[in-house]
């Protein structure tokens, strides 16, 4: 809430005092759309209106959510709860609030509220919201395979490579949308500790399945017409000739096997 929802508003308010500002770019996530139940639904690029939710029967008040969160923390601290207990309680509480309005987890819920803040309060600031899907390592720049920490698919890849999990659930027809890392930004991370005994291994797998279910069983298809139009409009522009962002030009198998996974070993696992 402090970073994804309120943090972007603080930065926007700072940007309003920059007289030479050219653009305000917010990195959000494609999964602010929530879980898609129907097969192959086209997910449009539409901004959120303030208070909009994914359930027609509900209305979201961000200020009220902040107050509820503060009250929850005060309640836990009044009971002398440890910081670890508070952290775990807030995870559950966050998912409860996210589910109430139709989002599957706190990450996409707080990102969606951050978008609402920007769209509602932007005034005359030129605003671009980018919604990447699952972010992996770099293809070329600053060098191949660079990545900061484990994120999205990498928790599964590394756990499988280390023998901590031997299989994982998913839908055979799900399209896994992957975006090569272009900025120094962590988009999703499951940082639960890895334990050795069988019971805790099972608990970890259960937690991973819970976290990744909205993505591994995602049934929608993201509309990328804006990106396609941008690529066509800049195809003959010599200033952007080096910014090749056509996914069809990438050998994905070669990238995963010879760039991404070696990059995980070198930069993330060290």
Return the active site residues.
Answer: 107, 111
| 161 phi, psi to nearest 5 deg | -65, -30
Q: How many helices (H) and strands (E) does the chain have?
A: 9, 6
Helix (H, G, I), strand (E, B) or coil at 8: helix
Two tokens at 108? 């996409």
Two tokens at 68? 């509820």
Spacing of C-alpha 25 from chain mean position: 16
DSSP 8-state secondary structure symbol assigned to residue 20: T
Helix (H, G, I), strand (E, B) or coil at 221: strand
DSSP 8-state secondary structure symbol assigned to residue 47: P
Lookup result for tokens 């962002």: 245
């Amino acid at each position: 809430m402090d970073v994804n929802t309120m943090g972007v508003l603080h930065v926007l308010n700072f940007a309003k005092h920059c007289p030479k500002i050219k653009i305000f770019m917010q990195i959000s996530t494609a999964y602010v759309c929530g879980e898609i139940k129907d097969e192959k639904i086209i997910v449009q690029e539409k901004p959120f209106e303030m208070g909009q939710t994914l359930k027609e029967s509900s209305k979201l008040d961000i200020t009220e959510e902040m107050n509820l969160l503060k009250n929850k923390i005060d309640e836990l601290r009044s009971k002398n709860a440890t910081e670890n207990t508070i952290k775990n309680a807030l995870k559950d509480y966050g998912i409860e609030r996210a589910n109430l309005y139709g989002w599957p987890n706190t990450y996409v819920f707080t990102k969606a509220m951050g978008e609402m803040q920007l769209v509602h309060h932007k005034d005359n600031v030129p605003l671009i919201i980018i919604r990447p899907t699952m972010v992996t390592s770099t293809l070329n720049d600053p060098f191949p395979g660079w990545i900061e920490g484990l994120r999205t698919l990498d928790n599964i890849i590394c756990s499988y490579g280390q023998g901590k999990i031997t299989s994982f659930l998913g839908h055979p027809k799900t399209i896994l949308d992957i975006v090569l890392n272009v900025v120094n930004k962590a988009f999703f991370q499951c940082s639960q500790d890895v334990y050795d005994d069988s019971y805790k291994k099972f608990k970890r797998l259960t937690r991973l399945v819970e976290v990744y279910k909205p993505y591994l069983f995602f049934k929608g298809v993201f509309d990328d017409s804006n990106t396609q139009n941008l690529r066509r409009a800049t195809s003959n522009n010599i200033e952007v000739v080096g910014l090749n962002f056509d996914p069809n030009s990438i050998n994905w198998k070669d990238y995963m096997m010879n760039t991404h996974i070696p990059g995980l070993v070198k930069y993330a696992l060290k």
